[in-house]
């Protein structure tokens, strides 16, 4: 495991959170991101956080990446001079986090922006960390650039190999080796110009307002799945597993009644509640119901708990990740099979993504329906839960449906 120190020397940085009222605060948080690259965002239905600049950066890797990131963040915030006139989750010092799916190589990152704009309920604020030139709300915003053409090609796990991997996983499960595994494939998109992350974020937010739109260190997407939100002593999570899509031949009533999809969903709920229970004095599950999105519908359940002690968001997600919704059951057997059958590093796809603050609160989703953007290229990934009665061709179609949000965003649809 390795870690990188903050990009600034450890002086006592000043952090100032100021409430904002009136028309100076933008209705669309994403519209204030000033530059094409380096966007930091966690926004749903107009609320959330966006940030830019880099006051500090922490990189961790390996099996201890969560604990190391948590330690570095605690050490960093202990040395800050914080003036917070708002005092709600997401004010004061904030880091945007994107953690790797797998232990190896497990390259993960926390980015502390110089400027954060936030909205939560009736609260609107600006946070600055360190020296910032001028008024962040008056900073010039470069025009958003859209590509003219997008060309797609096979990724590291193309469709043919993905179909074979699903078939092999089904064979293993029918032989009793494990109960569920989530397998993914990727698709490479190449644009005619460098891809503007703000263009993707804007398109995703318009078409998928029910999802958390995120951007951290080039990983951009819109996830429907909240891994963990901590607000004081309360934690909650939204679990999705079991899917149908237009043209699949399964409507929402049939989705609720589907044995295959209910089984997949129950594995996901069980894995999350079992991991969360040791931290909670009380825990409840509400669901399943059907979450309807433009491209797919999911079985959805909400898990709510009251914390027993004071675990940080990063230590909580370390215990939860990977849930059966993105890994499988049993966890160890599923992650080993993913590594074997996919044969490629997932990087930060399906890992925790979101934000944490210096007061112990945070929101982290699962990095789904997204892409890793670098220059003119974007690597899209999508996965499906596979159980013993899964059909490889059906899983291929489902994975294709799950890439639709990013394909639409890239193409400006």
List 54, 225, 266, 342, catalytic entry: 225
List all residues 6 or more positions away from 146 whose beta carbon is below 8 Å from its beta carbon.
196, 199, 412
Tokens of 398: 């489902």
For residue 341, give the nearest of 176, 188, 187, 181 by alpha carbon.
181
pLDDT digits (tens, 9 = 90+) for 192-233: 999 999 999 999 999 999 999 999 999 999 999 999 999 999
Backbone φ and ψ for 399, nearest 5 degrees, come out as -60, -40
Q: Which CATH superfamily is domain 150-196+225-350+359-411 in?
A: Anthranilate synthase (3.60.120.10)
Least confident piece of the model among 263-267, 326-330, 354-358, 371-375? 263-267
For residues 166-188, average pLDDT: 96
68 is catalytic: no
The fraction of the chain above a pLDDT of 70, given in percent, is 96
Q: 23 or 366: whose pLDDT is higher?
A: 366
Q: What is the pLDDT of residue 218?
A: 97
The answer to whether residue 4 scores a pLDDT higher than 60 is no
225 is catalytic: yes
Q: 252 or 17: whose pLDDT is higher?
A: 17
For residues 87-107, average pLDDT: 97
CATH 3.60.120.10 range(s) for the chain read 150-196+225-350+359-411
Q: What is the pLDDT of residue 254?
A: 87
Contact 66, 187 (CB under 8 A): no
The answer to whether residue 82 scores a pLDDT higher than 50 is yes
List 54, 180, 266, 398, catalytic entry: 180
Under the phi-then-psi rule, with left for phi > 0, alpha for psi from -120 to 50, and beta for the rest, what region is 19?
beta
Longest alpha-carbon distance in the chain: 64
For residue 75, give the nearest of 90, 52, 56 by alpha carbon.
56
Tokens of 381: 């990934």
Q: 406 vs 61, 68, 241, 295, CA distance in Å? A: 27, 32, 20, 11
CA distance linking residue 83 with residue 91, whole number of Å: 10
- Residue 276 banded pLDDT, cuts 50, 70, 90: very high
For residues 77-100, average pLDDT: 97
Q: What is the pLDDT of residue 313?
A: 97
CA distance linking residue 39 with residue 352, whole number of Å: 17
The answer to whether residue 315 scores a pLDDT higher than 50 is yes
CA distance linking residue 52 with residue 132, whole number of Å: 11
The answer to whether residue 3 scores a pLDDT higher than 80 is no
Q: What is the pLDDT of residue 15?
A: 98
CA distance linking residue 268 with residue 266, whole number of Å: 5
The answer to whether residue 9 scores a pLDDT higher than 60 is no
Contact 69, 97 (CB under 8 A): yes
**SS3 call for 43:** strand
CA distance linking residue 210 with residue 225, whole number of Å: 10
The answer to whether residue 2 scores a pLDDT higher than 50 is no
- Residue 267 banded pLDDT, cuts 50, 70, 90: confident
The answer to whether residue 408 scores a pLDDT higher than 50 is yes
Contact 91, 25 (CB under 8 A): no
Question: Which residues make beta-bridge pairs with 212?
Answer: 223
Structure letter (DSSP) for residue 330: S
Q: What is the overall mean pLDDT for the chain?
A: 93
Burial class, 389, CB count within 10 angstroms (exposed 0-12 / middle 13-18 / buried 19+)? exposed
pLDDT digits (tens, 9 = 90+) for 374-406: 999 999 999 999 999 999 999 999 999 899 999
Measure the CA angle with vertex 139, ends 135 and 140; round to 5°. Answer: 165
- Residue 249 banded pLDDT, cuts 50, 70, 90: low
Q: What is the pLDDT of residue 324?
A: 86
């Amino acid at each position: 495991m390795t870690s990188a120190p903050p990009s600034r020397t450890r002086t006592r940085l000043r952090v100032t959170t100021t409430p904002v009222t009136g028309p100076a605060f933008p209705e669309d948080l994403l519209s204030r991101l000033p530059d094409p690259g380096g966007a930091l965002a966690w926004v749903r239905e107009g609320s959330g956080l966006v940030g830019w600049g880099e006051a500090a950066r922490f990189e961790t890797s390996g099996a201890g990446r969560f604990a190391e990131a948590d330690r570095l963040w605690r050490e960093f915030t202990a040395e800050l001079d914080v003036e917070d006139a708002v005092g709600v989750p997401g004010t004061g010092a904030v880091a945007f986090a994107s953690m790797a799916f797998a232990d190896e190589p497990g390259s993960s990152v926390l980015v502390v922006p110089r400027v954060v704009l936030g909205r939560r309920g009736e609260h609107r604020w600006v946070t600055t960390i360190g020296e910032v030139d001028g008024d962040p709300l008056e900073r010039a915003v470069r025009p958003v650039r859209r590509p003219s053409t997008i060309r797609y090609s096979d990724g590291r796990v193309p469709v043919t190999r993905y179909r074979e991997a699903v078939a092999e996983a089904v064979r293993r499960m029918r032989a009793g080796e494990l109960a569920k595994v989530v397998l993914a494939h990727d698709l490479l998109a190449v644009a005619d110009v460098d891809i503007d992350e703000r263009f993707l974020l804007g398109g995703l937010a318009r078409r998928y307002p029910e999802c958390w739109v995120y951007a951290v260190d080039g990983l951009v997407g819109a996830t429907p799945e909240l891994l963990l939100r901590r607000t004081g002593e309360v934690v909650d999570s939204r679990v999705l597993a079991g899917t149908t899509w237009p043209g699949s031949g399964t409507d929402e009533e049939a989705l609720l009644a589907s044995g295959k999809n209910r089984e997949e969903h129950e594995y996901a709920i069980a894995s999350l509640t079992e991991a969360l229970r040791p931290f909670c004095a009380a825990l409840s599950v509400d669901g399943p119901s059907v979450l309807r999105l433009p491209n797919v519908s999911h079985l959805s359940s909400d898990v709510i708990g009251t914390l027993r002690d004071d675990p940080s968001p990063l230590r909580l997600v370390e215990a939860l990740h990977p849930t059966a919704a993105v890994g499988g059951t049993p966890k160890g057997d599923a992650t080993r099979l993913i590594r074997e059958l996919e044969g490629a590093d997932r990087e930060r796809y399906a890992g925790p993504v979101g934000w944490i603050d210096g007061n112990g609160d945070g929101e982290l989703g699962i990095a789904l329906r997204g892409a890793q953007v670098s220059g003119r290229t974007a690597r899209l990934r999508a996965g499906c839960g596979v159980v013993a009665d899964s059909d490889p061709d059906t899983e291929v179609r489902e994975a294709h449906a799950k890439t639709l949000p990013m394909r639409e965003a890239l193409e400006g649809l």
